[in-house]
Amino acid sequence: MNVTIKDVAKKAGVSPSTVSRVIADHPRISKETSRRVKEIMEELGYHPNLMAKSLVSRTTRTIAVILPKPAEELLLNFFFYELIRGVLAQLTRAGYDLLMAGGSNEQEELETVTRLVRGGRIDGLLLLYSRSSDPIIHFLRNEKVPFALIGRSLDYEDVPSVDNDNVQAAYDATNHLIAQGQKRIGFVTGPTKLAMTQDRMMGYSKALAEAGLPLKQSWVVEGEFLLESGYRAMASIMSQPEPPTALVVIDDVVAFGVLKGLAELGYRIPQDIAIVSFNNIALAELTMPPITSVDVGTYQLGYTASQMVLRMIQQVDITARQIIPHRLVVRESSLRTVSHV
């Protein structure tokens, strides 16, 4: 059996309440008593039972991250890991633990969230994505649980969230291609349910429109955030009579697939097809050729979002949407004139 607060109290010749106050550094406790009790805690190797503590304090010092749908698939995308790195950094700094949970479908996800929230297992949570008409967001608002979104809610304006200006980001990326003289620019996109996808699509079409360039529906392919998606998209998009000569790709990992697909079809990059993508994961600079990518400050996104949740837990009322700046990192994959190494 573990050593409890009573054991410490008995050995120190004081009441449990006193020990509790010593732990909490309560001012009512004399220097001398405090010292003695602490010594005994040390001696007995006492550590407070966190469950008992949570039960009475209604607090757990734990934040949950909900892993969407097929967590396994999702986690194949390094973007999320970089995000989690940021989250973890902020949470450990603040002395919070991170709980990862999920479900295998939307229904199960909601059940998990309900279990954790109603069950009092967590103090707040973080959603790593934002899709339209999400029942989880609805639930969390009703329960008034501190939570923040990475991305933005398509349903509610005032959900605390951390996001990029994805419209502008895609606008910049597309304009970069246009500046390189590209005229036939396609888009390999993600699930259209996601806000991020919709925003980037909008920036893309805005740039095309302003430049007076055509947006052909056959140049736009939808997929998942997976390598295979990009890979498969190439077969279809390049087989049409007049294929694009440049592609905006929703995500680096997808772009890796695009690269692989194009290589197999015998296209050279960037000479035949230029590529720009998003997220700028570490490996974007290691492919051949290195990929031009919009750095969205992924780590910052996670770090800031956690900070937001932590603030909300401290009763700070937040309904803000915070924007993390992006930055186009130009590499070989998008350049018209290239001198190969």
Partner DNA sequence: TCACCTTGTGCAAACGATTTACTTTTTTTT
Partner DNA sequence: AAAAAAAAGTAAATCGTTTGCACAAGGTGA
Tokens of 204: 């893309």
Contact set for DNA, span 50-89 (CB under 7 A) = 52-53, 55-57
Say which entry of DNA, a second copy, none residue 303 contacts (CB below 5 to 8 A, set by partner kind). none
Element (H, E) at 72: helix 71-74
Dmax (CA) of the chain: 89
* Spatial separation of the C-alpha atoms in residues 123 and 137, rounded to whole Å: 16
If the CB atoms of residues 5 and 220 are measured against DNA, the closer one turns out to be 5
- The residues that bridge with 292 in the sheet, in sequence order, are 276
Residues 10, 16, 33, 75: which binds a second copy (CB under 8 A)? 75
If the CB atoms of residues 82 and 134 are measured against a second copy, the closer one turns out to be 82
Choices 73-81, 173-181, 239-247, 326-334; region in contact with a second copy by CB under 8 A? 73-81
- The residues that bridge with 276 in the sheet, in sequence order, are 248, 292
If the CB atoms of residues 1 and 282 are measured against DNA, the closer one turns out to be 1
User: Does residue 141 contact residue 319 with C-beta atoms inside 8 Å?
Assistant: no
Amino acid (1-letter code) at residue 148 = A
Q: Can residue 335 be called a binding residue for a second copy (CB under 8 A)?
A: no
Strands 292-295 and 327-329 come out as: antiparallel
Q: Cβ of residue 308: shortest distance to DNA, in angstroms? A: 25
User: Does residue 63 contact residue 309 with C-beta atoms inside 8 Å?
Assistant: yes
* Spatial separation of the C-alpha atoms in residues 297 and 295, rounded to whole Å: 6
Q: Cβ of residue 118: shortest distance to DNA, in angstroms? A: 9
DSSP reduced 3-state for 3:
coil
User: Does residue 163 contact residue 150 with C-beta atoms inside 8 Å?
Assistant: yes
Q: What count of Cα atoms within 13 Å lies in the side-chain half-sphere of residue 120?
A: 10
Q: What is the DSSP string of 113-145?
A: HHHHHHTT--SEEEES--BTT-HHHHHHHHHT-
Choices 5-13, 97-105, 152-160, 296-304; region in contact with DNA by CB under 7 A? 5-13
Q: Cβ of residue 256: shortest distance to a second copy, in angstroms? A: 5
Tokens of 58: 């209604």
Say which entry of a second copy, DNA, none residue 100 contacts (CB below 5 to 8 A, set by partner kind). a second copy
If the CB atoms of residues 8 and 74 are measured against DNA, the closer one turns out to be 8
Q: Cβ of residue 194: shortest distance to DNA, in angstroms? A: 36
Say which entry of a second copy, DNA, none residue 17 contacts (CB below 5 to 8 A, set by partner kind). DNA
User: Does residue 124 contact residue 313 with C-beta atoms inside 8 Å?
Assistant: yes
Contact set for a second copy, span 175-234 (CB under 8 A) = 227
If the CB atoms of residues 51 and 282 are measured against DNA, the closer one turns out to be 51
Contact set for DNA, span 24-53 (CB under 7 A) = 24, 26-30, 32-33, 46-49, 52-53
**What are the backbone angles phi and psi of residue 269, rounded to the nearest 5°?**
-120, 130
If the CB atoms of residues 71 and 338 are measured against a second copy, the closer one turns out to be 71
| Residues contacting 317, CB < 8 A, separation 6+ | none
Chain residues in the site for a second copy (CB under 8 A)? 2, 45-55, 60, 62, 67, 71-72, 75-76, 78, 81, 84-85, 88-89, 92, 97-104, 114-116, 118-121, 227, 256, 259-260, 263, 282-283, 286-288, 341
Where do contacts with DNA occur on this chain (CB under 7 A)? Answer: 1-2, 4-6, 13-21, 23-24, 26-30, 32-33, 46-49, 52-53, 55-57
